[in-house]
Amino acid sequence: MKAILTSLLLFILEISLIKGQSISFNSSNLPIIKVQTNGKAIVNEPKILADMEMIYNGVGKTNNVTDKPNAYLGKLGIEFRGSTSQQLFPKKPYGFELWVDSTEKSRKVALLGMPEEADWILNATYNDKTLMRDVLAYDLANRMGRYATRTRYCEMVINDKYEGLYILMEKVKRDKNRVDVSSLKITDNTGDDVTGGYILKIDKTEGSKSRTWNTVLAVNGVNYNIPIQIEYPKLADITTAQFDYIKKYVTDFETSLKSADYLNNKARWRDMVDIDTFVDYFLITEFTKNVDGYRLSTYFYKDKDSKGGKLKMGPAWDYNLSFGNADYYDGFKPTGWQYKVNDMAIPSGDIYFLSPTWWERLSVDSTFRYKASKRWEVLSKSVLSPDRINSWIDSTAKVLQEARIRNNNRWTGVLGFKIWPNYYVGATYENETAWMKDWIRQRTVWLDAQLKVFGQPLANEEEIAKEFPLRVFPNPTESETTIEYDVARKGRVRINVYDFTGRLIKTVLDEDKNAKTYQVKLNSENLSSGMYLVDYQLDDVHVESMRMMKK
């Protein structure tokens, strides 16, 4: 905490160097957003009524400030948002809701090709000189098959004054196109109705109030409280029965995970969570080494029992302090585990934003370790490949070239200056992107070595695996293949087929079986040509995996 405060104080002393400059702005290759507040000042809360125009003429076409609005024309309620970014930085982030008129009735609109909704965010991306970290992290999460907020770069004008480059983003919200969980009514208080859907988070408690309870982190005989907030339903809508239900569910999960026998194959927590979502959240957080990971801006959710009902991690959120962009808690180092952040936070006195014990416990569970290792093996050669990411960075930099120059001219004293909590300060934009690329390369090398160890059998697991062979034939396959598997003891057999991005394609089998050899047919006609992974589990413990080729 002392290191963070020192860095903040130095930044505040230097902030006077950063002046907003008036910039001549006529056109852009990016969408243009124009807001008129009609003499009213934008504040933290509440939203004020304003007018918005959005101009976008299509890919590869120029958008002129004087063009007629063709992507949106109408009312909105706009306010400042964020905590640190709003308090410290002159370039402000905004939250807004599209309104029908002055009655403040919300209006859902599909902005810039994103699914329709009323609530949106304009991310100022101020202390990330590459202007990419948030967008890149969300892109990676989406490519991993997990929902993360969709984004669009744009340039913004407020009251006829150019304000720079912004990222138009979806707000984390319950919606069929965002966090797709069931709607909860105030009458849903019993049976299956009360079991979902809920969106929860571990975060700072500033901003909109929500129902909250504390989970306890015990370290060396000292108890620390970590608030768990209910993002959905909202404070005004959630009933006592709903609050009691979801609090008990999460508490029961934690109790099981903290128990002495939590590594047992029958431990209750295994049936309460979607372990694959925990694995993916772990990998995206560790790959980016998000310094806030696990302890802030950490979302998870639960749908109704009739719709699966397990606790799921995500969506990924707030990654501006990732990819080395932090000078504290070793956030700048491409080595080290982020899930061990408490080991640095507690000794430094930063006891207010801690990570729950979940990740330390999961990191020694053989099933979690195996899944993380195998998932990384696939993702590091595809979605998380440094070569693919470098290409994305280069192409994005090219698209942003004109806009980021204008942005840096508007906000002088940013590029080439230390903005809290930067570790690296490049003299040029090219320096900044090159440093991030090299950091990603080094991070990948380190994780490769660590996750290979993660995937190695523990104790006698190697012998256990030999007892449960899996066979797939014919392989390669054209239309139908046979999966043959041996069950050495009675248990729940689950056989899944994944593509080589790690996305679940099909659950072939999920049944209780007695000890014997079985066969099951897999119709592969509808599968695209390529490589797949057939994964066999017994009682949620990995047994064996085999590659399958579709011609």
Name residues whose C-beta falls within 8 Å of residue 468's C-beta, 6 or more positions apart in sequence. Answer: 485, 486, 487, 488, 536, 538, 543, 544
Q: Which pLDDT score is estimated for 91?
A: 96
- Residues 454-497 have pLDDT tens digits of 876 543 344 433 444 788 888 888 889 999 998 878 999 999 99
Question: Which residue, of 402, 425, 456, is where some domain finishes?
Answer: 456
% of the chain exceeding 90 in pLDDT: 77
| Whether 112 and 152 share a structural domain | yes
Residue in 322, 524, 340 with CA at minimum distance from that of residue 423: 322
Helix (H) or strand (E) holding 409: helix 386-410
CA 314, 316, 317, 319 dihedral sign is positive
Q: What is the pLDDT of residue 20?
A: 59
Mean pLDDT of the chain: 91
**420 plus 470 within the same structural domain:** no
- In this prediction, residues 195-206 reach a mean pLDDT of 95
Kindly state whether residues 110 and 128 are assigned to the same domain. yes
The per-residue pLDDT for 475 is 82
How would residue 540 be classed by pLDDT, with cut points 50, 70 and 90? confident
- Confirm if 314 and 305 have CB atoms less than 8 A apart: no
Do 321 and 212 fall within a single domain?
Answer: yes
- Per residue in 31-89, pLDDT tens? 999 999 999 999 999 999 999 999 999 999 999 999 999 999 999 999 999 877 777 89
> Is pLDDT at 314 greater than 90 in this prediction?
yes
The answer to whether the CB of 520 falls within 8 A of the CB of 532 is no
Do 448 and 486 belong to one domain? no
Q: What was the pLDDT predicted at 201? A: 98
Q: Examine the pLDDT at 12 and tell me if it is beyond 70.
A: no
Residues 110 and 139 in one domain: yes
pLDDT band at 1; cut points 50, 70, 90: low
DSSP string of 55-119? E---TT--EETTSPP-SEEEEEEEEE--SHHHHH-SS--EEEEEESSTT--B--B--TTSPPBSE
Above 80 in pLDDT, residue 103?
A: yes
Residues 338 and 386 in one domain: yes
- Residues contacting residue 181 through CB under 8 Å, at least 6 positions apart: 174, 196, 197, 198, 199, 232, 301, 302, 303, 304, 307
Whichever domain contains 481, its CATH number is: 2.60.40.1930
The terminus-to-terminus CA distance of the chain in angstroms comes to: 57
Q: How many domains does the chain have?
A: 2
And the tokens for 318? Answer: 């707030």
- 354 and 474 together in one domain: no
- Residues 6 or more apart whose Cβ sits within 8 Å of residue 347: none
If residue 311 lies in a helix (H) or strand (E), which one and from where to where? Answer: strand 311-313
Shared domain check, 131 and 273:
yes
Together in a domain, 191 and 267: yes
Q: For 244-264, what is the mean pLDDT?
A: 95
User: Which stretches of 442-540 are assigned E, i.e. beta strand?
Assistant: 470-473, 480-487, 491-499, 504-513, 516-523, 530-538
Looking at residue 15, what is its pLDDT? 47
Max Cα–Cα distance, the chain, nearest Å: 77
**Which residues, other chains included, contact 55 with Cβ-Cβ below 8 Å and sequence gap of 6+?**
31, 32, 34, 63, 64, 65, 67, 68, 69, 70, 71
d(CA 499, CA 528) in angstroms, rounded, equals 10
Q: Which two tokens stand for residue 413?
A: 């004293």
**Residue span of the structural domain in which 172 resides:** 1-178+186-456
Greater confidence (72 vs 549) lies with 72
Final residue of a structural domain among 433, 456, 479: 456
From 396, 429, 456, give the residue that closes a domain: 456
pLDDT over 70 (residue 247): yes
Count of C-beta atoms within a 10 Å radius of residue 165: 25
One domain for residues 85 and 195: yes
22: Cβ contacts below 8 Å, ≥ 6 apart: 161, 162
**pLDDT for position 4:** 53
pLDDT band (50, 70, 90) for residue 525: confident
| Span 133-187, pLDDT tens digits | 999 999 999 999 999 999 999 999 999 999 999 999 999 999 999 999 999 999 9
Tell me the two tokens of residue 138: 């969300």
Confidence of residue 551 (pLDDT cuts 50, 70, 90): confident
Cα 417 → chain centroid: 28
pLDDT score for 494: 93
* 494 shares a domain with 436: no
pLDDT digits (tens, 9 = 90+) for 341-390: 999 999 998 899 999 999 999 998 889 999 999 999 999 999 999 999 99
